[in-house]
Copies of this chain bind each other. A is one copy, B any other.
Amino acid sequence: MIQIKLNEKIYIKDPETSELGRMIVSDSITLIDKWGLENFTFRKLSKEINSTEASIYRYFENKYQLLAYLNSWYWNWMEYRVNFSINNIVDPYAKLEIIIELLTQPIERDPNFTHIDEKALHRIIISESAKTYLRKNVDETNKEGYFKSYKSLTKQLANIIREITPEYKYAESLISLIIEGGHSQVYFADHLPSLTNVNEKNCSLVEFCKDIVFSVIKKNK
């Protein structure tokens, strides 16, 4: 049995250690997905799981810390998927192609983690995750390790780009541009379609991103 273990200070009490903790995590995904972070409160969550606000506050300082926890879970899970998928592949081009697919394709439920709805979590990542770092306290929360999972995955993927083009100066930027920009593209396709071509006929985010990455690599080889 696999468990995503988050060791940083992104919780007060580890929600994986109790039934209540797991309910907080799984039901917060449902509620944030449904109502958005703005309209999500610990009061509503406590009613949903037949518990109390005070109990939830024993696990997370506030809803932003809970969101950061979900974020970290997601990026740890993504790292696990990446490592699983590129295992035994030696050609860095092939690795990179798989990675871009993992980062930009629609998400499927992972039966390894029964209490996490990965499709709903992915929607949250797309529309809410930036709110963890777009805050005035970002430098503190960064020190607390809120973004460790995201940073470590970015570093790993940048290294694969450098396997192909060691002298390319923007490997980390290219990865984070694809991730962050890719999230925008998915969101725009759903809500502001004149800002994107994704979801037009014969167009896909995967194709768009692969084209960018391999064009840049080719030119900088």
Task: Enumerate chain B residues within 8 angstroms of A169, measured Cβ to Cβ.
Answer: 197, 200, 202-203
Copies, count: 2
Q: Is the CB of B195 within 8 A of A151?
A: yes
Choice from B38, B135, B194, B208 contacting A170 with Cβ under 8 Å: B208
Task: Enumerate chain B residues within 8 angstroms of A136, measured Cβ to Cβ.
Answer: 35-36, 38-39
A177 to B173, CA, bound (A): 13
Chain B's nearest CB lies how many Å from the CB of A19?
30
Chain B's nearest CB lies how many Å from the CB of A56?
20
**Residue A184 interfacial (CB < 8 Å):** yes
Query: When A130-B134, A134-B127 are in contact, do A184 and B187 touch as well, CB less than 8 Å?
Result: no
**Residue A172 interfacial (CB < 8 Å):** yes
Task: Enumerate chain B residues within 8 angstroms of A154, measured Cβ to Cβ.
Answer: 194-195
Query: When A131-B131, A215-B215 are in contact, do A196 and B184 touch as well, CB less than 8 Å?
Result: no
Chain B's nearest CB lies how many Å from the CB of A191?
5
Q: Is the CB of B211 within 8 A of A170?
A: yes
Sampled A-B contacts (17; CB under 8 Å): A138-B191, A154-B194, A155-B194, A169-B200, A170-B203, A172-B194, A172-B196, A173-B196, A173-B198, A176-B181, A176-B184, A180-B180, A180-B181, A214-B219, A215-B215, A215-B219, A218-B219
